[in-house]
Amino acid sequence: MDDRLDISTSVVAKLIATQFPEYKNLPIKLVEPNGWDNRTFRLGDTMSVRLPSAERYAAKVPIEQKWLPKLAAKLSVSIPRPIAMGQASPEYPWNWSIYEWIEGQSANTLQIDHPLMETLATELAVFLQELEAIDPRGAPTPSAHNFFRGASPLVYDEETRSAIDALKDFIDVTASLALWRQAISSKWNQNPVWIHGDFSAGNILIKNGHLVGVIDFGGMAVGDPACDLVIAWTLLKGKSRKLFRSALPFDQDTWDRARGWALWKALITLKAIPDKTDAKAMEQRSLIQEILQDSDQKSPPLFHFSHAQPSQRSLLHQWFEQQHIKKWMHGAGLQSTLNGLEQFFRGESSTTYWIGYDQETPFAFLITSPEGEEATTLDLFICDINYLGKGLAVPMVKEFLITHFPHVKKVFIDPEATNTRAIHVYQKIGFKITGEFIAKWHPVPHYQMELRMQDLLHSSRQQNKYIFAPYDESYPSLFQQEKQRISPHLPQVMAIEHVGSTAVPDLGGKGIIDIALLAPKADMNAISTALQRLGYEFRPSFSTEDRLYFVSFMPDPKIGSRRYHIHLTHPECRIWQELVGFRDYLIVHPKARDEYAAIKKKAVAEGLEGASYRQIKDPFLKKILQQLETPWNM
């Protein structure tokens, strides 16, 4: 039911005449197209009148009146500046505002060509960075006033899943659920930043092909900036979307949450349209498909690094000619790199030149050089434009250093002082600014930044820390729910079993729901594809020819997000028998179960992870498996 007021020009004229008589002779004209939350009227040539259309939007008025002047002083783009706040009256029941008028046309009323859209994408990113840099102290936090923009998209979990179910005949349900699960599996772990709250095409003003204003700050708050990134799909496309992403320093989790916000809005909009085939509905269906396709295009990065080879000269030279590389590597610095590469190819250089790969795709260039026996210098570039703005630099550098330089004590890097985006990335990795200097190869200020490897290694261990959790009676039902979700999509599967620690009552462990799938060996690749469509990530480094390993994270009301593992195997090997047999042995042998629990607790106490953790368990596992005499009948 639409309970919004139909506010006429005559009502606005009465409000102006009674509360601000100095403006009563100015012409009043309804602005078209108008907004949903507010009705806007132009007052004379230099002012606008803005009135909430329903009570649920009225709480925003005093917030805008207080904070917009403070934000305006810090932004290079015009935003509404309050002139006065009107009061509730017999003609109109809530507070309302008079603002300075900003000249420009809403982006949703214009046909913007590609070059201008690319310019706009960069200008939108600059605006968001300026907004997010403003001091957030004392600012409003996400709440009902702004419909929880700036909070986690998990707020709308029930509404989103309901919309997906209602629209099952019009959208890709599997892909939508997978995207949504990914969106709600992370949260903003940094300090809250300012958000606009409704950063959409209708609130962006364009003049002479450039961004000149941003309006409608009713949803502003401080929190997670992901909701403001939705415009990447609702307005931007292709190269302009890539430029927007590359200009913002957010990690992949933030972009996943942004995609979730975009999907939520498109779903509930489509659900509310009675005729799912009319023009407005088809626009939303197309948007949903684009959001999902953009999600499908990204696969989990699997980084590895190799020394640059002479055969890659052409690739490297192509990379160095790109504008985003030439901006920071040029002149004497570029020539030094080219000369150094040739020396390296001849085996005459202590400096090492690396290529970073995502699976088999080269996308990054890294340079290291020893500083004595206990330190190394680092320089790096994301060279493939398709990898810009995807939050890969931080995890890539961490993996590179942990894999290839765990033995050094310090890593040094020296970005130009004006390269604020790179400095932000390095600080997220753990580098700290220790000094400033003028570089010989490019005489402008550079920062000396330093990373202590022991801090990085400790941080990595903490992020992957194993916590022993007691057995939870919800584990069997969690397994059944997931079995019911995936089994209709896996007709080739012969059996599905709950295995691992969560399948053994009273055992305890990591709380991971381990699921074993048995299928004909010839069908394993097809099942792998289906599982990835269902939201599981294939982990080739942990897989073998006889067992394919998959990971997914799903929302959990008790802990926020729970990890699920799938072990896909076939009847021609003993892996299935071992997984199921080990579980059953522990269930019927409480002493063995308790012994296994003690081993797992010891691993926690000693901080063992990865190979060390498996090493402490292996003798017990082998002992039990040797005792298994269950006949293999399938």
* DSSP-derived secondary structure for 226-272: GGGGTHHHHT--HHHHHHHHHTS---HHHHHHHHHHHHHHHHHHHHT
CB 596 within 8 A of CB 586: yes
What integer pLDDT is reported at residue 557 of this predicted model?
62
**Residue pair 432/447 in contact by the 8 Å Cβ criterion:** no
**Spatial contact of 356 and 370, defined as CB atoms under 8 Å apart:** no
Cα 438 from Cα 444, distance rounded (Å): 5
Q: Which parts of 361-405 fold into alpha helices (H)? A: 393-404
60 vs 91: CA distance, rounded Å = 20
Nearest to 182 by CA among 568, 500, 564, 526: 564
Q: Are 413 and 393 in contact (CB under 8 A)?
A: no
Q: How far apart are CA 376 and CA 459, in angstroms?
A: 20
User: What is the per-residue DSSP string for 101-162?
Assistant: ----EEGGGS---HHHHHHHHHHHHHHHHHHHTS--TTPPPSSGGGTTTTS-GGGGHHHHHH
| In the predicted structure, residue 611 carries a pLDDT above the cut 60 | no
**Of residues 593 and 114, more confidently modeled:** 593
The residues facing 306 across adjacent strands are 355
609: pLDDT strictly greater than 70: no
Amino acid identity for residue 622 in this structure: K
Q: For the segment 65-74, what is each residue's pLDDT rounded down to a tens digit? A: 999 999 999 9
> Which of 117, 138, 111, 35 is closest to 80 using CA atoms?
35
Query: What pLDDT, on the 0 to 100 scale, is given for residue 57?
Result: 84
Backbone angles phi, psi at 149, to 5 degrees: -65, 135
**β-strands 375-382, 410-413 pairing:** parallel
pLDDT grade, residue 298 (50/70/90)?
A: very low
Quick one: pLDDT band at residue 632, thresholds 50, 70, 90? very low
Sorted by sequence, the CB contacts under 8 Å of residue 336 that are 6+ apart come out as 441
Angle at 180 between CA 176 and CA 183, to 5 degrees: 145
Locate tokens 């709480």: which residue? 59
Task: Over range 499-511, report the average pLDDT.
Answer: 90
Mean pLDDT of 596-616: 69
What is the Cα–Cα distance from 429 to 579, expressed in whole angstroms? 38
> Which of the listed ranges 63-77, 386-400, 440-454 does the model predict with the highest average pLDDT?
63-77
Query: Which of 65, 80, 58, 61 is closest to 5 using CA atoms?
Result: 58
**Contact 34/83 with Cβ under 8 angstroms?**
no
Lowest mean pLDDT among 115-119, 311-315, 578-582: 115-119
Residue 539 has pLDDT above 90, yes or no: no
Q: Where are the beta strands (DSSP E) in 114-203?
A: 193-195
Q: pLDDT-derived band of residue 300, with 50, 70 and 90 as boundaries?
A: very low
Coil, helix or strand for 106?
Answer: strand
pLDDT over 60 (residue 608): no
Model pLDDT, residue 296: 42
Closest CA to 251 of 235, 220, 229: 229
β-strand partners of 551: 537, 565
**pLDDT at position 537, please?**
79
> Nearest Cα to 81, choosing from 68, 67, 63?
68
The CA distance from 551 to 532, in Å, is: 9
Q: Which residue, chain included where needed, has tokens 């913007």?
A: 112
3-state helix vs strand vs coil in the chain, percent to 5: 45, 20, 35
Give residue 301's pLDDT band: very low, low, confident or very high (50, 70, 90): low
The segment with the largest mean pLDDT, out of 149-158, 323-332, 591-600, is 149-158
Q: Do 446 and 439 meet the contact criterion of CB atoms below 8 Å apart? A: yes
pLDDT for residue 481 is more than 70:
yes
Is pLDDT of 277 > 50?
yes
Distances, alpha carbon 567 to alpha carbons 3, 445, 496, 504, 575, in Å: 52, 53, 10, 17, 9
Asked if residues 379 and 366 have their Cβ atoms less than 8 Å apart, the reply is yes
Partners of residue 416 on adjacent β-strands: 446
Give me 136's structure tokens: 């957030």
Could you tell me which residues come within 8 angstroms of residue 397 by beta carbon, excluding any fewer than 6 positions away?
378, 380, 425, 429
| Residue 28: strand pairing partners | 43
List the structure tokens of 484.
């019911």
| 7 φ, ψ (degrees, to nearest 5) | -95, 120
DSSP 92: B
| Confidence (pLDDT) at 466 | 54
Percent share of the chain, pLDDT over 70? 91
Residue-level pLDDT at 97: 94
Q: What is the pLDDT of residue 385?
A: 84
* pLDDT (average), residues 120-129: 93
Residue 629 has pLDDT above 60, yes or no: no
